[in-house]
């Protein structure tokens, strides 16, 4: 008898183990509730209707992914100002905001799309919209939301173009930005050079101010934190080059044009002359390098102002437009959009998206360097007095990177090619010719 009990007990244990481990449910959706007895801190969302025990007035949770970095003032504003405000205005809705690093966010969304475990809403780099749209995971807002036109008219048309594909809109513009030149005032004065306004001056100045300081440490005239399109495009364009033809169907003849090659050669030359650096694993991170006087010029966005104020409050720097070359002064247009995924709880997600693009939220975010796209917010006094005035000037002449679905892959190939050039493994001509063929193929897919 005792035996039977024991066998029973062990079988039960086995079944328990198996069921506890495999949790439950077959439908893969992140926003489903955790029924498997997790720890207390898991504030799991319950979606209406999907749970077996729908309690009255159950909170709806929106999962919102973004890449405001975890320790940034933007994230502080989001967590401590915006979300509490939204939740108090919309009782019964909770926002679960998740911060990812920029590159991680792209990867996480890619993989979540494949495995059908997407969040409801995400803040996306405008350059990703074509790629995710091609995967078919973004909601066409103009078709689904009745008041889309109303909302969209309140936002800058130029910014809304980033979410427009084939006459449908796959998100709302959230903020815009571009990069301008930040320079170390003291160092340029001591070297007796003026702020470069042309490409030739930029090259000469960068070489001139590079060298060593009193402590015998290397000083670099300019720093670029990576060698991808975001970093290279301003130079390629200012040199008069391009990545693709205007129709974005062909790269040969553009990405390997003389102008583009000259821009890449300039990077390689300055790097080998110890005048620029920043993209290597062992380099000083950009903000630290600039703040401690090791990098004397950088090309950066409006967020840098708040960041410098936080990390190096006493540091004196000036700003200027991107130096102009044969192609004029052309910086790269950045900016983020807020999009909804097709697995989302659409009504509540839309409420949150409208809130994030509202005047209130846009003004709050402008305080930490996010340039608003809401027309009302742009008229607001706080915004008008914000310190991103020089950026507004630069945005007018800034250009977009190619808006194609394969941009992430093209960007990656571009990075590999230019890395080989600066490390003298290939000449710029060789590398860009090879690259042109690869990009042609990616564009035709």
Interaction residues for other proteins, span 11-70 (CB under 8 A): 11, 13-14, 17-18, 20-30, 32, 34, 36-39, 41-43, 65, 69-70
6 binds other proteins (CB under 8 A): yes
Q: 28 φ, ψ to 5°?
A: -85, 105
CB of 355 to other proteins, least distance (A): 21
Instruction: Tell me how far, at minimum, the Cβ of 377 lies from other proteins, in Å.
Output: 26
Binders of other proteins among residues 159 to 178 (CB under 8 A) are none
Binding of residue 283 to other proteins (CB under 8 A):
yes
Smaller CB separation from other proteins, 73 or 154: 73
Dihedral sign for Cα atoms in the order 291, 297, 298, 299: positive
- Whole-angstrom Cα distance, residue 283 to residue 277? 7
Nearest to other proteins of 54, 103 (CB atom): 103
Rounded-to-integer distance, Cα 224 and Cα 232, Å: 9
Measure the CA–CA gap between 100 and 196, rounded to whole angstroms: 36
- Is 381 a binder of other proteins (CB under 8 A)? no
- Using CB under 8 A, which residues numbered 387 to 416 contact other proteins? 408-409, 415-416
Q: Does 87 bind other proteins (CB under 8 A)?
A: no
Q: In terms of CB distance, is 182 or 360 closer to other proteins?
A: 182
Cα separation, 206 vs 273, whole angstroms: 10
Instruction: Tell me which residues in 100-119 interact with other proteins (CB under 8 A).
Output: 100-103, 106-108, 110-111, 113-117, 119
Length of the chain: 445
287 near other proteins, rule: CB under 8 A: yes
Distance CA 58, CA 60 (A): 6
Could you tell me the smallest distance in angstroms from the CB atom of residue 148 to other proteins? 26
197 binds other proteins (CB under 8 A): no
Residue 81: CB minimum distance to other proteins, A: 18
Sketch the per residue contact string, 292 through 311, with other proteins: x for CB under 8 A, - otherwise: x-x------------x---x
- Applying the rule CB under 8 A, the residues between 300 and 359 that interact with other proteins are 307, 311
Q: Is residue 182 packed enough to be buried (19+ CB in 10 Å), middle (13-18) or exposed (0-12)?
A: buried
3-state helix, strand, coil in the chain (%, to 5): 45, 15, 40
Stretch that binds other proteins, among 7-15, 140-148, 237-245, 392-400 (CB under 8 A): 7-15
Q: Which of 419, 430, 433, 438 binds other proteins (CB under 8 A)?
A: 419
If residue 296 lies in a helix (H) or strand (E), which one and from where to where? strand 295-300
Q: What are phi and psi of 60, to 5 degrees?
A: -100, 135
Residue 234 · residue 332 · CB < 8 Å: yes
Shortest distance, CB of residue 320 to other proteins, whole angstroms? 22
The span from the CA of 168 to the CA of 163, in Å, is: 8
| CB-CB contact of 172 with 153 (8 Å) | no
**Can you read off the two tokens belonging to residue 334?**
């950045």
User: Segment 213-242, which members bind other proteins (CB under 8 A)?
Assistant: 215-218, 225-226
- The sign of the CA dihedral 403, 409, 415, 417 is negative
Nearest to other proteins of 373, 432 (CB atom): 432
């Amino acid at each position: 008898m005792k035996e039977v009990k024991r066998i029973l007990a062990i079988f039960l244990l086995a079944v328990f183990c198996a069921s506890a481990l495999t949790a439950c449910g077959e439908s893969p959706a992140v926003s489903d509730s955790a029924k498997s007895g997790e720890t207390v801190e898991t504030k799991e969302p319950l979606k209406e209707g999907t749970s077996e025990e729908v309690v009255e007035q159950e909170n709806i949770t929106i999962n919102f992914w973004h890449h405001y970095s975890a320790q940034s003032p933007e994230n502080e504003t989001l967590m401590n100002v915006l979300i509490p405000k939204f939740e108090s205005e919309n009782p019964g809705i909770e926002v679960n905001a998740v911060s990812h690093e920029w590159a991680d966010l792209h990867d996480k969304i890619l993989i979540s799309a494949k495995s059908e475990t997407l969040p409801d809403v995400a803040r996306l780099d405008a350059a990703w919209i074509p790629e995710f749209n091609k995967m078919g995971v973004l909601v066409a807002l103009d078709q689904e939301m009745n008041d889309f036109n109303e909302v969209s008219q309140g936002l800058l048309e130029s910014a809304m173009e980033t979410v427009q594909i084939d006459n449908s809109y796959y998100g709302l513009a959230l903020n815009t930005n571009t990069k301008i030149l930040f320079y170390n005032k003291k160092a340029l004065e001591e070297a007796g050079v003026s702020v470069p306004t042309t490409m030739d001056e930029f090259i000469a100045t960068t070489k001139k101010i590079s060298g060593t300081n009193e402590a015998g440490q290397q000083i670099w005239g300019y720093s670029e934190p990576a060698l991808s399109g975001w970093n290279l495009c301003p130079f390629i364009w200012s040199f008069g080059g391009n990545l693709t033809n205007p129709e974005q169907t062909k790269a040969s003849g553009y990405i390997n044009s003389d102008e583009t090659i000259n821009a890449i050669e300039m990077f390689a030359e300055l790097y080998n002359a110890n005048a620029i650096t920043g993209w290597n694993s062992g380099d000083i991170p950009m903000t630290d390098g600039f703040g401690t006087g090791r990098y004397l010029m950088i090309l950066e966005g409006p967020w840098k102002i708040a960041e410098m104020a936080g990390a190096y409050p006493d540091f004196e720097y000036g700003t200027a437009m991107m130096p102009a070359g044969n192609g004029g002064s052309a910086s790269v247009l950045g900016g983020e959009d807020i999009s909804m995924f097709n697995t989302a709880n659409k009504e509540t997600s839309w409420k949150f998206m409208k809130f994030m693009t509202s005047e209130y939220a846009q003004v709050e975010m402008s305080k930490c360097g996010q340039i608003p796209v809401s027309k009302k917010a742009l008229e607001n006094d706080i915004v008008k007095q914000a310190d991103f005035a020089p950026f507004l000037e630069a945005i007018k002449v800034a250009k977009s990177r190619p808006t194609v679905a394969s941009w992430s892959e093209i960007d990656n190939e571009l990075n590999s090619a230019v890395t080989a050039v600066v490390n003298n493994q290939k000449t710029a001509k060789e590398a860009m010719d090879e690259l042109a063929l690869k990009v042609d193929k990616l564009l035709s897919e």
